[in-house]
Amino acid sequence: MSLSLEELALKADVSKTTVSLVLNGKSSIYRISKETENRILKIAKDHNYKPNSIARALRLNKSLTIGLIIPYLNRHFGRVAEVIEQNARELGYQIIIAVTQDCLNTEHDLIENLYERNVDGLILATMMNRDQFNDLSSKIKIPIVLVDRRIDGDDIAWVVSDDEQGTCELVSVMCQEGVTDIYFVGGIEKLSTSIDRLNGFKKALLDQGVECNQSKIQQIGYAVADGYEMTKNIIERFSKTPEAIFTSAITLLEGLLQYAKEHKPDLFSHTRVITYDDHPMLDYLQPPIFSVRQNAEEIAKKSFEIMHGILEKNRSFAQELIKPELILR
Amino acid sequence: MSLSLEELALKADVSKTTVSLVLNGKSSIYRISKETENRILKIAKDHNYKPNSIARALRLNKSLTIGLIIPYLNRHFGRVAEVIEQNARELGYQIIIAVTQDCLNTEHDLIENLYERNVDGLILATMMNRDQFNDLSSKIKIPIVLVDRRIDGDDIAWVVSDDEQGTCELVSVMCQEGVTDIYFVGGIEKLSTSIDRLNGFKKALLDQGVECNQSKIQQIGYAVADGYEMTKNIIERFSKTPEAIFTSAITLLEGLLQYAKEHKPDLFSHTRVITYDDHPMLDYLQPPIFSVRQNAEEIAKKSFEIMHGILEKNRSFAQELIKPELILR
DNA sequence: TTGAAAGCGCTAACAT
DNA sequence: ATGTTAGCGCTTTCAA
């Protein structure tokens, strides 16, 4: 422990109050004399005084800490976390990250855990539905901003990619190239990301006058193994090799690639593969895989911005739809 | 804020002391009557009492918080962070992650920042050298465990991959296939990862009786752009296309791939490429790229284990070399 | 078997 | 222009 306010006060031969006021930049408001102020500042500097943030947090009931709860720390979420952390740090906040592995119970535990730890706010990539969220909100009296996965409601703050639009554009490109036989490899059905991506998929088919066959739509989960499974189903259940497959996340694409490598090495000679999410390595895969790149940086920036606005500027909730980018290789 | 110890005490009609003792499992030591104990426990449960962790941290001078400072939250470090977080959580600790972007000044700021925030310990993927680290240690009176990048010294705790061995094995495989003309694409020269990987590279050549030419060794940095630059140098400076290139990190491989795609599409018909670090997408690249997969999970587990041992079991520092895995495709 | 009270380091209302 | 003091919620020594 470095030296305390009290010890500083002793050295400067003033009271704790004076030191506190000076150090918090309230000298002028309280008419502390320039002489005293400078003396205190100098002593503080000389002794490299650092206020004890825990004492401060206790006193102010404000920890300057934000909890960030996300399913994984993989590429997309890792980048989101990284940027949120940087933005937060610049404004004096620190981020506590916890990882749910896409398990709802874990999410609940983590929220409770971080709440008990007195975080000032929570940024969540949630699996909760509206009811569960309402339940939570009534118990928890700190601001919540949803990131990446939204919940419908006018009073809920969120920042997500425009999944529907992104998917629609990507799938439309396929249709315009003449593809009419396209499969949807989806994730956890009830998540907004899944709903929006599926809606985008259907909208593209509708717009382009392509028939949408329910049997070509699968939604199991976002794990690599799920992508493998769904690809397997497509290949094994249908006699005809599909013209195109859309995977709605990079992990699902990985599963597809794995299945193809093991059981269907010629998949790509008959089938176009396109995916939501991007990855730099896709640039080097043959054949080219079109993708939709989410703007992780912007998502991160906005979500902390909204949180900060609520905490310090009396702003209320806000909602932001971030445009993803089509990558046609 | 939920209800406090004092309010609980009031409801249970006992003193704060009694409640505190019961809730901290010290009933028997202090001979609190079973009856009182149960009454208090019931009331605490009924009211869903949660101790205020900040007050506790202030009183105990222990925040149950560990700072984790790493260069990025990309694949490898993201996974390390994820696993450290999970391990920590199970033992009641929370992790505060901060990202340096491989900038030494940022690292210093972050350490100071987290230290002021009263973390109980620091886990660092550091850029510091021995002197800088000694400087730091003298100022900072909390345990430090280095992860992924070590600093020589008997009294420093670290957990790193066995980079030298991993690289040596991988490069030896190349040599055994008859390659004698192999280039080293390296990262930040002074880091232990770079030193160890380069040593492994040289050792393999020596073991296999292959001449090691200094001009074939470059070390700029770990960014994708650095990999691009070094590949460019190799291709442009030498008239002969190399037989093999070893990139000492996945980011450098990405840079290489980018350069090849743009300026040397036939690179792979003449040149074998191998890399430190692994990535699932490598399974689907043509031609196959041999790699060394670090055991991020084990690295994470051990590093928190050491930290926990120091904090709670009076253990002293420890050092662990984690075996990476060769992936020959 | 339980309670009173001090104190962790800080802020801020109130006093001087 | 500066000091006194209470108190944030908790743990723990000492007393009863």
Q: What is the mean pLDDT of residues A192-199?
A: 96
pLDDT at residue B1 greater than cutoff 60: no
Measure B210 CA to nearest chain A CA, in Å.
Answer: 31
Q: What is the pLDDT of residue A33?
A: 81
Q: What is the mean pLDDT of residues A116-143?
A: 94
Q: What is the mean pLDDT of residues B262-290?
A: 91
B16 CB less than 7 Å from any atom of strand C: yes
Min mean pLDDT across A4-18, A68-82, B251-265, B296-310 is at A4-18
Here the contacts of B257-264 (C-beta below 8 Å, separation 24 or greater) are B257/A281, B257/A283, B257/A284, B258/A283, B258/B224, B258/B227, B258/B228, B259/B227, B259/B228, B259/B231, B259/B232, B259/B235, B260/B231, B261/A283, B261/A284, B263/B232, B263/B235, B264/B235
Q: What pLDDT digit, counting tens, does each position of A221-277 carry?
A: 999 999 999 999 999 988 888 999 999 999 999 999 999 999 988 899 889 999 999
The Å distance, CA of A131 to C1' of C14, is 47
Which residues, 6+ apart, have CB-to-CB distance to B33 below 8 Å? none
Mean of per-residue pLDDT scores for chain A: 92
**Residues of B in Cβ contact (< 8 Å) with A86:** 99
Q: What pLDDT digit, counting tens, does each position of B104-161 carry?
A: 999 999 999 999 899 999 999 999 999 999 999 998 989 999 999 999 998 999 999 9
Min mean pLDDT across A24-38, B226-240, B261-275, B314-328 is at A24-38
Strand partners, B182: B244
State phi, psi for B95 to the nearest 5 degrees: -110, 130
Min mean pLDDT across A6-10, A166-170, A217-221 is at A6-10
Q: What is the mean pLDDT of residues B1-25?
A: 85
Which of B316, B278, B320, B303 is CA-nearest to residue B88?
A: B303
pLDDT at residue A211 greater than cutoff 70: yes
Element spanning A38, H or E = helix A34-46
Which of the four pLDDT bands, split at 50, 70 and 90, describes residue A130?
A: very high
Q: pTM here?
A: 0.92
- Work out the percent of chain A whose per-residue pLDDT is above 70: 100
Could you tell me the strand order of the sheet in which A182-186 lies?
A217-219, A182-186, A244-247, A272-276, A290-293, A325-327
Which residues, 6+ apart, have CB-to-CB distance to B99 below 8 Å? A82, A85, A86, B69, B70, B71, B72, B73
End-to-end CA distance of chain A: 56
For residue B235, count other CB atoms closer than 10 A to its CB.
Answer: 19
pLDDT at residue A185 greater than cutoff 60: yes
Which of the four pLDDT bands, split at 50, 70 and 90, describes residue A317?
A: confident
The Å distance, CA of B120 to C1' of D1, is 40
pLDDT at residue B17 greater than cutoff 80: yes
Whether A74 and B75 lie within 8 Å, measured CB to CB: yes
Q: What is the pLDDT of residue B145?
A: 97
Which of the four pLDDT bands, split at 50, 70 and 90, describes residue B29?
A: confident
Q: For B284, which of A50, A94, A257 is closest by C-beta distance?
A: A257
**Residues of A in Cβ contact (< 8 Å) with B63:** 54
Q: What pLDDT digit, counting tens, does each position of B157-200 carry?
A: 999 999 999 999 999 999 999 999 999 999 999 999 999 999 99
Measure B285 CA to nearest chain A CA, in Å.
Answer: 6
pLDDT at residue A1 greater than cutoff 80: no
Mean of per-residue pLDDT scores for chain B: 92
Q: What is the pLDDT of residue A7?
A: 84
Q: What is the pLDDT of residue A107?
A: 96
Cα of B114 vs its chain's centroid, Å? 17
Which of the four pLDDT bands, split at 50, 70 and 90, describes residue B57?
A: very high
Element spanning A269, H or E = helix A267-270
For A52, the closest chain B residue by CA position comes to: B116
- Work out the percent of chain B whose per-residue pLDDT is above 90: 71
Element spanning A145, H or E = strand A144-147
For A268, the closest chain B residue by CA position comes to: B284
Q: What is the pLDDT of residue B174?
A: 92
A4 CB less than 7 Å from any atom of strand C: yes
The Å distance, CA of A38 to C1' of D3, is 19
CA dihedral B247, B252, B256, B259 (to 10 degrees): -160
Which of the four pLDDT bands, split at 50, 70 and 90, describes residue A278?
A: very high
Q: What is the pLDDT of residue B163?
A: 97
The Å distance, CA of B20 to C1' of C5, is 15
Min mean pLDDT across A28-37, A126-135, A316-325, B318-327 is at A28-37
Nucleotides of C under 7 A from a protein CB: 1-13
Q: Are the CB atoms for B112 and B122 separated by under 8 Å?
A: no
B31 CB less than 7 Å from any atom of strand C: yes
Report the alpha-carbon angle A125-A153-A196, nearest 5: 60
Whether B75 and A78 lie within 8 Å, measured CB to CB: yes
Q: What is the pLDDT of residue A272?
A: 94
Which of the four pLDDT bands, split at 50, 70 and 90, describes residue B287?
A: confident
* Cα B98 from Cα B291, distance rounded (Å): 28
* Cα B126 from Cα B6, distance rounded (Å): 44
